[in-house]
Structure formats: C-alpha cells, structure tokens
Amino acid sequence: MLRVYKDGHVERLMDTDFVPAVSDDPITGVSSKDITIVQEPNNNNLDISARLYLPKLTTITQKFPLLVYFHGGGYCISSPFTSKYHNYVNVFAVSVNYRKAPEHPIPEAYEDSWAALKWVASHSSNNSGDGGPESWLNHHADFERVFLAGDSAGANITHNIAMVAGSGDSEFGLNVEILGIYCIVSPLKDGDWVYYSALSKCGWMGVVEIFETDGENHGFHLYDLQSQKAKDLIRRLSAFFNRDIPRLP
C-alpha cells in the first residue's frame, strides 16, 4: 500500500491516479468541482477539501438528497479524486478529502471529517439563515434528506460521525435525527451482522436495512462498476437514499 523511508518521506503505491472535475459529464450529465473547506498551513498543515457532484438539473431551483461521503483506504491511501470514486459518486454528493496517516495519524481523519460535516451543515437555512459559502449547497441541497456514507475505513468514520451528530450534544445548531441506517455486509467482519441485529433489536424506531452480496471481496463495487452485482448494490443504495423516511415520533 505504501512505503515509508527513514527520512520520513511516504510513497503511496496504490490509488495514485487523479481524475479532474468536469462541468458536465458527457455520459451522466453530472457536474463536479473541487473546493477547499479548511486550509491552515501553520496549523499542522490542516488541509481539508472535497469534490462536489451535482446531477443534471431539470429546473434551476431543483434540490436533491445530499450525500456526504467518506472514502476508504485504511486511513492512509486513496482520495475522492481517483477514478473509482469519480465514477461511483454520481449523485449530489460532498466527497470529503481528509488527511491521511502516517503523516497525519488517527484521530485526524475523524477530526477532519467532523469539520467537513459542520461546514456542510453551515449551508442549511436552519443553521444560520444566510446559507454558507458554496452556492451548489445553498441552492440544490435538500437538508431535510441528508445521508452519510463511506466504504471500508470511511464506513468507520461514517458510523462515529453519525453517532456524534445524532447525540444532541453536537455544535451543529441543527435538529438532527438519525432516521435510517443501511448496512453493507463486509466479508472481513462477521460483526456486521451483529451490528445489524443489535440495531434492529435495540428499540430504535428508525429504518435499518442490510444487503449482502455473495462471492465478492471487500469493496468490490468500487472496482467493477459494470458488474451486475455492483449495479444491484448501487440500485439498492439509490432506493434507500430516495425513499420517504418518516420522522421519529
């Protein structure tokens, strides 16, 4: 995955490709752009960025469910700008680029992800009334339907960020309710079934679903998007993101 030299230099051997953002994808119609969330070189090289994805608009006031996505890679490789994420996240999404280990050890990836989510929340009219600095979020994000998602290490970030956001103790200034959770079972961890079972039986009144794909490896859908199994998984996720989930009593 990576090579660390005695002088501290880190060479990443995987996921080194970079796909530029496009104003109008000729196949999907999705527009994308890269934005800076926080950049403070004098603060431990704090640099948090993201790639935004906006589906083709049918009206200038159209709003979409908002997906905040945290990529995987063992906290040390990958980014939202590699080909597998650029081709995969074809919804209105904020795909977060957090700092990587070993240069930036845990918990910095979690701290960056939390800062990114707060930045996204700052665009909600429920938060400040004035919106935030990013026009796409101000005009086209439906803050009544916000989803957090991630793969591998990003799924771990997603779980922890969601628990903090839904605890009632966060500094969002938003009325946060966790209404639904979708689990994709990883062949690396039987504990995912335990997670799903415990959540289903704990008395929580939200929506929980689980989907298992037989015979595939960890994160398979990111590496073979054209396979039927990957398409089936993405359709299930899309249906979950677009369903009407009632508010908790």
- Catalytic sites, residue numbers: 152
∠ CA 129-135-141, nearest 5°, is 75
138 in helix, strand or coil? helix
Residue 59 CB: number of other CB atoms within 10 A? Answer: 6
Name, in order, each residue with C-beta under 8 angstroms of 234's C-beta and a sequence gap of 6 or more. 88, 221, 225
Q: Do 67 and 241 meet the contact criterion of CB atoms below 8 Å apart?
A: yes
Alpha helices in 21-134 (DSSP H): 83-88, 108-121
What are the strands, taking DSSP E only, across 130-246? Answer: 141-150, 180-184, 207-211
Tell me which residue has tokens 């209404």.
179
